Amino acid sequence: MALSKEQIAQRIAKEIKNNSYVNLGIGIPTLVANYIPEGVNVVLQSENGLLGMGPFPFEGSEDPDLINAGKQTITTLPGSAIFDSALSFGMIRAQKVDLTILGAMEVSESGDIANWKIPGKMVKGMGGAMDLVASAKNIIVAMQQVNKSGESKLLAECTLPLTGVKCIKKIVTELGVYEILPEGGFQLLERAPGVSVDEIRTATAGKLIADENIPEMVF
């Protein structure tokens, strides 16, 4: 079966290294805060000005003054810090963030990402995505592999306005885990439980590199 959004976040959480600083983007990436592996020390950064985010609050215990970049209520951990967005982007541009986890509308086989604008639709703002993809040491994309019309969002070339060029290293979707190869192409590393390589190939418009013995994800 294809993964839920929560399972995508759970799988990405396994990529977080101990003693790292991680920025969580809007959408599926925010869910990663709920699945940090036990024993892994990580400081979660929100671009609106917070270091030390915890998991989402339980219903009834929300503090409306504590929100992430997606305006969702969050919790803080002991030692957390709150500051203005200028300092936050200073951290980002100075490459103090070890890992950025972003959502995406499209990713190309060469590692380009489009995630901020659909022509003709209202745009609230560019947000911090361009700063993040230009500055992060490592970037993982959390996304749905196909859109509501069943069309692939893993493409040979992006069709939407780009956020960054040749910057994506790894992608986790509802169907699989992929690595962008230096020469281009989506190398399939793991597949969702019960999903076949042929199903993944059908859902990938760009170049897919995969053999028939791809392991299933383990949760």
Nearest to 32 by CA among 50, 60, 53, 48: 53
Question: Which of 38-60 are b and which e, b meaning 16 or more Cβ less than 10 Å from the residue's Cβ?
Answer: eeeebbbbbbbbbbbbbebeeee
Catalytic residues, by residue number, are: 47
Q: Which helix (H) or strand (E) holds 217?
A: none
Query: How far is it, in rounded angstroms, from Cα 30 to Cα 56?
Result: 9
Name, in order, each residue with C-beta under 8 angstroms of 121's C-beta and a sequence gap of 6 or more: none
Number of helical H runs and strand E runs in the chain:
4, 13
Residue whose entry in the numeric block shows the structure tokens 């290293």: 169
Which string of DSSP letters, residue by residue, matches 33-61? GGGPPTT--EEEEETTTEEEE-SPPPTT-
Q: Are 86 and 114 in contact (CB under 8 A)?
A: no
Structure token digits, residue 75: 């919790």
